[in-house]
Structure 1
Amino acid sequence: MTKDFYQAVEGRRSYYAINNEKVVSEERIEEVINHAVKHTPYAFNATSGRVVVLFDEQHQAVWDIAKDELSKIVPAEDFAVTEERIDGFAAGYGTVLFFEDQDVVKGLQEQMELYKDNFPIWSDQASGMLQYVVWTSLELEGLGASLQHYNPLIDEQIREKWDIPQNWLLRAQMPFGKPASPAGEKEFQPLEERVKFFK
């Protein structure tokens, strides 16, 4: 049954327990990601978003890098909890890496000096929108995902492993797979404390 937009927004959750059972084809995931990248809005149509999608062993490599880097800074007596969390992400079958092309941002700063302080902010906002569109799209395909931020800890290793251009700034990582257990209960702050209407 196809979900409508509101159901998709509500259904998108953080899934930390995922597995590598393939719910949809890699080709379908490519279609979904391409659609999201093409249609997510950017200020001044900057299109500075860059995405790398990794499957199977390539996906595993991201979390091997994260685990290795974290082992250097997390005390040994506390590492078991960290390792368990990372292994949970690695249990899926794919990871989306989100980047922002800093050359695009700098180029716009040079072209429109009046707005130069805003372009990095707008870049981050657009990246957040792209992450959300991808996340919700994966949920619509029956996949569970979560948004992670191990940058800048893993930036250099990611850049070297997949020959990522220097001007691509890593913003987030999104491991995905088949949900292995339900997402946790979600609590909501009262809307009247968050939203105002004036008529």
Structure 2
Amino acid sequence: MVLKIHCKYSFLRRWASSGPHSTKHPRCRIPKSKPIPEGILLQTESNSSLFYNPPASPPDYRVTPYSFLPDTVKKLNEKPVFHGTLPPPLSPIKQKKYHLIDEDIKQIKILRENGMSRSNIAKKFNASRFFVGMVAPLSKEKVDEIKRKHQEIKEQWSDRKKEIMMNRMKRRKLWGKEY
């Protein structure tokens, strides 16, 4: 009886049948599987018999529920996979500070309303500019004024610059989309 094996990949068929190595390698390798155990006849008494037939393959660890796994396997998840050393960070890691109290936050809001910049307030209270902007955002009037100034600057752009900026905005919108 001749077994004809079909390869899934056509390039393997061509590679296996060409050149001087064609006799060394079979066209496709048949994966080796474990032999299927046959049933075992267990006799406890002369008049009774029990036939034990184990499953064809042992249970897979990926299928076994976590609660049924032995303790040694459960402990494997607790151990870190990587034990090597990592390269140093590119910038120093800053620890978060929670040192501002309610009076400081009120003072930040007052200074921000009076027109002080976020960076100056952040330096004064030893906080980040992001935190200052989160605690004391600009009023709607100031935001509208900034948008109006930006719109005036946009109106002075040439046609070429307007087209370039429009294309840039289109590309930014496409960043998150998949094709």
How would you bin the TM-score normalised by the shorter chain? Answer: under 0.3
Higher strand share: 1
Q: TM-score normalised to the size of structure 2? A: 0.20
From the two aligned structures, give the one with the greater helix fraction.
Answer: 1
- Superposition TM-score, scaled by structure 1 size: 0.19
Q: Is the radius of gyration larger for structure 1 or structure 2?
A: 2
| Bigger relative contact order, structure 1 or 2 (CA pairs below 8 A, ≥6 apart) | 1
